[in-house]
Amino acid sequence: MAGEFSLKKFSEIDLNDSFFDSLKADYPGNGASPSFADWFPAKAKEGRTALVFDDDQGIGAFICIKPEDEAITLTNGTLPKKMRCKISTMKIAERFRGQRIGEGAIGLTLWKWQQLGYDDIYVTVFDKQDLLITLLTKFGFIKIGNNLNGEGVYMKSRSNVDYSDPFRSFPFINPDFNNSGYIIIDDYYHDTMFPYSELKNTLQTKVALSVSNGLSKIYVGQQYSAPPYGPGDPILIYRRHTGPTGKKYKSCLTSFCILTKVIQAKENGIPKMPFDELLKEIGNKSVFDQGELQNRYNNDRNMMVYEMLYYGYFGSGNNVNMAWLDNNGYWCGAHNVSYPALIRLSPNEFKEILQEGNVDVSNVIID
């Protein structure tokens, strides 16, 4: 059974679950702070909530964040008091090592930080928590020192975003991009790839996330020529309605990503790379299983592979439909192309589309 994330009250969570044993051992309590076993029920009485991943084996991840207006005391100095976002607890079960549940967990956490608007987000971690430290470093957290409890203090700041890599800069888009465009995905594939892109009248929710759908995505298309954008560029995800009617109003933009890689696996019927090599590139990030991929590799005349990092979604009621794009000059006719995947959008056009989707551009693209 695949699991998913949900927002839960502490009072709904079983503290006796073996998932919490290591936290109880690592935080036995001292004169300066309570034990984890005492802290948890105290926060439950306050109504505290956490982002929790559950599957058929029990709790798989637990993340609790809070606004904080305190100084941070380190062994080598003190950071002054200011409003920050603190990840007060973050644990991912060891059984998920090598899987992408951690990507989803930290993505949801950083989206929340982005919404709160604070400059800094930080977390304290013991050195033995190598899985978590690797994940934090991948997403741009920097160790700034150790606290008095012997933990490393890892911080990420919007005033010092590292744009050298889309993971490190997540969830902020590099303001120096030159090109953008659309990736066109049929509705039945789209809704598996982008589970927290809420569409009106569906049962999806903003925080639902299956184990097989982290932030890294791969889409395999049949585009016959290279796209007008490349790695590092932001792209808009277009959900193509495949029903018999309503195309202009039911087909819409739902999400935006940063492209990380484009692979031409097959061109004009000629393979550009062996199938085994293609499988290694795709890994577990595609909505297609190996049999489907083999069938497409054998039979499709063209095969283009897009690797991307999921950066954000418009949400229920905010998705931008084809009719609006066409009426406002963002579609094929205005760009003199025959297929929407060939449209090159300028940075200003990309920003204007985000604004139409009620995205706060100043909180997504920052200098």
pLDDT digits (tens, 9 = 90+) for 16-25: 999 999 999 9
Mean pLDDT of the chain: 88
Which tokens go with 129? 């928590």
Say how far apart CA 104 and CA 205 lie, in whole Å: 14
pLDDT at 204 over 80: no
Q: Is 293 helix (H, G, I), strand (E, B) or coil?
A: helix
Contact 118, 110 (CB under 8 A): no
Beta bridge partners of 120: 157
Amino acid found at 64:
C
pLDDT at 213: 61
- Indicate the pairing of strand 77-92 with strand 142-146: unpaired
pLDDT digits (tens, 9 = 90+) for 69-107: 999 999 999 999 999 999 999 998 888 877 778 888 898
pLDDT at 206: 39
Q: Is 119 helix (H, G, I), strand (E, B) or coil?
A: coil
pLDDT at 271 over 60: yes
pLDDT at 199 over 60: no
pLDDT category at 196 given cuts 50, 70, 90 is low
Which tokens go with 252? 């819409």
Question: Which distant-in-sequence residues (6+ apart) come within 8 Å of 108 by Cβ?
Answer: 5, 51, 63, 207, 209
Q: Is 35 helix (H, G, I), strand (E, B) or coil?
A: coil
**Between 185 and 226, residue with greater pLDDT:** 185
Question: Which distant-in-sequence residues (6+ apart) come within 8 Å of 147 by Cβ?
Answer: 72, 73, 74, 75, 124, 153
Burial per residue of 216-237, b for 16 or more beta-carbon CB atoms within 10 angstroms, e otherwise:
bbbbbbebeeebbbeebbbbbb
- Indicate the pairing of strand 252-267 with strand 234-240: antiparallel
pLDDT at 198 over 70: no
Angle of CA points 249, 252, 255, to nearest 5°: 160
Question: CA 227 → CA 5, 324, 344, distances in Å?
Answer: 34, 23, 8
pLDDT at 143 over 90: yes
Nearest one of 123, 228, 234, 225 to 170, comparing CA atoms: 234
Say how far apart CA 348 and CA 43 lie, in whole Å: 45
Dihedral-angle region of residue 186 (phi above 0 means left; psi in -120 to 50 means alpha; beta otherwise): beta
Contact 177, 229 (CB under 8 A): no
Angle of CA points 287, 293, 299, to nearest 5°: 135
In this prediction, residues 210-238 reach a mean pLDDT of 81
pLDDT digits (tens, 9 = 90+) for 2-50: 677 888 899 999 999 999 999 999 999 887 789 999 999 999 999 999 9
Amino acid found at 69:
D
HEC secondary structure over 3-62: CEEEEEEHHHCCCCCHHHHHHHHHCCCCCCCCCHHHHHHHHHHCCCEEEEEEECCEEEEE
